[in-house]
Protein backbone atom coordinates (compact mmCIF):
# COMPACT_ATOMS: atom_id res chain seq x y z
CA UNK A 1 0.00 0.00 0.00
CA UNK A 2 1.42 3.38 -1.03
CA UNK A 3 1.54 6.16 1.55
CA UNK A 4 -0.76 9.08 0.77
CA UNK A 5 0.86 12.35 -0.19
CA UNK A 6 -0.05 15.51 1.60
CA UNK A 7 -1.47 18.29 -0.64
CA UNK A 8 1.45 20.61 0.18
CA UNK A 9 4.05 18.05 -0.90
CA UNK A 10 2.88 17.51 -4.45
CA UNK A 11 5.54 17.34 -7.16
CA UNK A 12 5.15 19.88 -9.94
CA UNK A 13 6.06 17.97 -13.07
CA UNK A 14 5.05 20.83 -15.36
CA UNK A 15 7.99 23.01 -14.23
CA UNK A 16 11.19 22.32 -16.18
CA UNK A 17 14.39 21.45 -14.36
CA UNK A 18 16.85 24.35 -14.72
CA UNK A 19 20.35 25.40 -13.63
CA UNK A 20 21.78 28.92 -13.53
CA UNK A 21 25.54 29.05 -14.13
CA UNK A 22 28.24 31.72 -13.96
CA UNK A 23 31.23 31.09 -16.26
CA UNK A 24 34.64 32.57 -15.42
CA UNK A 25 37.49 33.40 -17.78
CA UNK A 26 39.73 30.96 -15.85
CA UNK A 27 37.57 28.05 -17.07
CA UNK A 28 35.62 27.47 -13.87
CA UNK A 29 31.81 27.47 -13.99
CA UNK A 30 29.71 27.60 -10.83
CA UNK A 31 25.98 27.52 -10.09
CA UNK A 32 23.75 30.10 -8.40
CA UNK A 33 20.16 29.96 -7.21
CA UNK A 34 17.45 31.33 -9.48
CA UNK A 35 16.63 34.08 -6.97
CA UNK A 36 20.23 34.88 -5.94
CA UNK A 37 19.78 38.61 -6.59
CA UNK A 38 16.63 38.90 -4.47
CA UNK A 39 18.44 38.01 -1.24
CA UNK A 40 21.07 39.84 0.76
CA UNK A 41 22.75 43.16 0.16
CA UNK A 42 24.31 44.52 -3.00
CA UNK A 43 27.80 43.53 -1.81
CA UNK A 44 26.85 39.89 -1.26
CA UNK A 45 25.49 39.71 -4.81
CA UNK A 46 29.04 39.49 -6.21
CA UNK A 47 30.31 35.93 -6.31
CA UNK A 48 33.96 34.99 -5.91
CA UNK A 49 35.26 32.41 -8.35
CA UNK A 50 36.55 29.36 -6.47
CA UNK A 51 39.26 28.89 -9.14
CA UNK A 52 40.90 32.33 -9.39
CA UNK A 53 39.22 34.60 -6.82
CA UNK A 54 37.78 37.00 -9.40
CA UNK A 55 34.52 38.75 -8.40
CA UNK A 56 31.53 38.19 -10.67
CA UNK A 57 28.22 39.99 -11.03
CA UNK A 58 26.05 37.10 -12.29
CA UNK A 59 23.61 39.52 -13.94
CA UNK A 60 26.25 40.15 -16.61
CA UNK A 61 26.83 36.55 -17.77
CA UNK A 62 24.26 34.17 -16.35
CA UNK A 63 23.70 31.00 -18.39
CA UNK A 64 20.36 29.27 -18.00
CA UNK A 65 20.46 25.55 -18.73
CA UNK A 66 17.39 23.38 -19.02
CA UNK A 67 17.02 19.63 -18.85
CA UNK A 68 15.31 18.28 -21.95
CA UNK A 69 13.07 15.19 -22.11
CA UNK A 70 15.58 13.53 -24.44
CA UNK A 71 17.91 13.21 -21.43
CA UNK A 72 20.46 16.02 -21.81
CA UNK A 73 21.18 19.57 -20.56
CA UNK A 74 21.18 22.44 -23.06
CA UNK A 75 21.72 26.19 -22.76
CA UNK A 76 18.31 27.82 -22.97
CA UNK A 77 19.25 31.48 -22.45
CA UNK A 78 22.34 33.61 -21.97
The more confident residue out of 2 and 69 is 69
Assess contact for 48 and 55: CB atoms under 8 A. yes
Q: Which one-letter DSSP state was computed for residue 5? A: P
Domain layout of the chain by residue ranges = 16-77
What is the per-residue pLDDT across 33-47, written as a single tens digit (0 to 9) for each?
Answer: 777 665 555 556 688
Could you give the CA distance from residue 43 to residue 20 in angstroms, rounded to a whole number? 20
What is the per-residue pLDDT across 4-60, written as a single tens digit (0 to 9) for each?
Answer: 655 555 555 577 888 888 888 999 988 887 776 655 555 566 888 889 999 887 667
pLDDT for residue 75:
84
**3-state SS assignment for residue 55:** strand
Helix, strand, coil fractions of the chain, as percent rounded to 5: 15, 35, 55
Whole-prediction pTM: 0.60
Amino acid sequence: MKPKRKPGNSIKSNQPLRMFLVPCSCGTTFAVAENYDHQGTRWSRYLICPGCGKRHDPKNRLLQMGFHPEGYWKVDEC
